[in-house]
Amino acid sequence: MSVNLPRLLRGILFFFCCGLIGSCGSFSQKTWNGPVLSYPRTQLTVESLLTADSLPLMDMSFFAQPDWAESAKRSFTGTITLPSTSLIFPKARAYYDGENLFPAVRLSFFTHGQSLVPTQRYVHTVLDPNGSIWDLHLGVGKIWNEQTDGAWDRASFPFTMTDRYIGQARNCVGTFVYQTDSISSLCIQCSQETADQNDQQWGDIRAVLDADFEEMPLSAADSMHLHHSYEVQATGQIPVVSLEQIDPDHSLGNHFERSYSTNASTSIGAVYLDGKLYLHPPKTHHGIYPYAAEMRHCVYSVTKSLTGALALMYLAERYGPEVFDALISDHVAPLADHPAWQGVTFAHALNMATGTEGSEAFEHLAATLILPLTQHEAMEKIAGLGDYPGAPGETFNYATTNYFVLSWALQHYVQEREGADVHYWELVHEHVLKPIGAAHFSLLHTEEADGQRGLPILGYGAHPTLDEAAKIARLFASNGAFEGHQLLHRKKVQEALGRTAWQGYPTQVQHRGEYYRHGFWSTNVKVENCEVEAIFMLGYGGNYIIFLPSGAIVFRFMDEFDLDIAELVKQVETLVPSCP
Those residues with Cβ within 8 angstroms of residue 322's Cβ, 6 or more apart along the chain or in another chain:
none
- Quote the CA–CA distance of 49 and 41 in Å, as a whole number: 13
Higher pLDDT, 90 or 86: 86
- Nearest in space to 474 (alpha carbons), one of 347, 323, 318, 310: 310
The one-letter code for the residue type at 456 is P
For range 238-266, the mean pLDDT = 95
As separate numbers, helices (DSSP H) first and strands (DSSP E) second, the chain gives: 15, 26
pLDDT tens digit string along 267-300?
999 999 999 999 999 999 999 999 999 999 999 9
Residue 338 scores a pLDDT above 50: yes
Residue 104 scores a pLDDT above 50: yes
- Nearest in space to 429 (alpha carbons), one of 400, 399, 453, 403: 453
Please report the pLDDT score of residue 125 as a whole number.
81
Kind of pairing, strands 169-178 and 186-194? antiparallel
Please report the pLDDT score of residue 92 as a whole number.
80
Q: Which of 24-28, 352-356, 486-490 is predicted least confidently?
A: 24-28
Burial class (CB in 10 A: 0-12, 13-18, 19+), 325: exposed
- Quote the CA–CA distance of 343 and 337 in Å, as a whole number: 11
pLDDT tens digit string along 497-524?
999 999 999 998 866 899 999 999 999 9
For range 472-476, the mean pLDDT = 99
Please report the pLDDT score of residue 28 as a whole number.
58
Contact, 355 vs 392, CB < 8 A? yes
**How is residue 104 annotated by DSSP?**
P
Q: Please spell the DSSP secondary structure of 213-267, one letter per residue.
A: EEE----HHHHHHHHHHHHHHHHTSPPEEEGGGT-TT-HHHHHHT--SSSS--EE
pLDDT tens digit string along 404-434?
999 999 999 999 999 999 999 999 999 999 9
- Quote the CA–CA distance of 237 and 245 in Å, as a whole number: 19
Please report the pLDDT score of residue 130 as a whole number.
73
Q: What is the torsion angle, in degrees rounded to the nearest 10, for the CA atoms of residue 88, residue 90, residue 91 and residue 92? A: 150
Contact, 288 vs 281, CB < 8 A? yes
pLDDT tens digit string along 169-226?
999 999 999 999 999 999 999 999 999 876 666 679 999 999 999 999 999 999 999 9
Please report the pLDDT score of residue 558 as a whole number.
95
Contact, 93 vs 200, CB < 8 A? yes
Across the chain, which distance is largest between two alpha carbons, in Å? 74
Q: Please spell the DSSP secondary structure of 44-82, one letter per residue.
A: S-HHHHHH-S------GGGGSPPTT-B--SS---EEEEE
Residue 370 scores a pLDDT above 60: yes
Please report the pLDDT score of residue 17 as a whole number.
43
Please report the pLDDT score of residue 361 as a whole number.
95
Residue 19 scores a pLDDT above 50: no
Q: What is the torsion angle, in degrees rounded to the nearest 10, for the CA atoms of residue 517, residue 436, residue 279 and residue 114? A: 150
Please report the pLDDT score of residue 7 as a whole number.
41
Q: Assign 174 to helix, strand or coil.
A: strand
The one-letter code for the residue type at 40 is P
Please report the pLDDT score of residue 31 as a whole number.
85
Burial class (CB in 10 A: 0-12, 13-18, 19+), 580: exposed
Please report the pLDDT score of residue 391 as a whole number.
97
For range 81-105, the mean pLDDT = 92
What's the mean pLDDT when you consider all of the chain?
A: 93
Those residues with Cβ within 8 angstroms of residue 16's Cβ, 6 or more apart along the chain or in another chain:
360, 361, 362, 365, 366
- Quote the CA–CA distance of 97 and 369 in Å, as a whole number: 19
For range 56-76, the mean pLDDT = 97
- Quote the CA–CA distance of 444 and 447 in Å, as a whole number: 9
Residue 24 scores a pLDDT above 70: no
- What Cα–Cα distance (Å) separates residue 459 from each residue in 60, 281, 307? 33, 29, 8
CA angle 308, 401, 24 (to 5 degrees): 100
Cross-strand bridge partners of residue 544: 538, 556
Which H helix or E strand runs over 81?
strand 78-82
Residue 1 scores a pLDDT above 50: no
Packing angle, helices 375-383 and 401-418, rounded to 10:
120
- Nearest in space to 155 (alpha carbons), one of 238, 234, 213: 213
For range 538-553, the mean pLDDT = 97
Residue 451 scores a pLDDT above 80: no
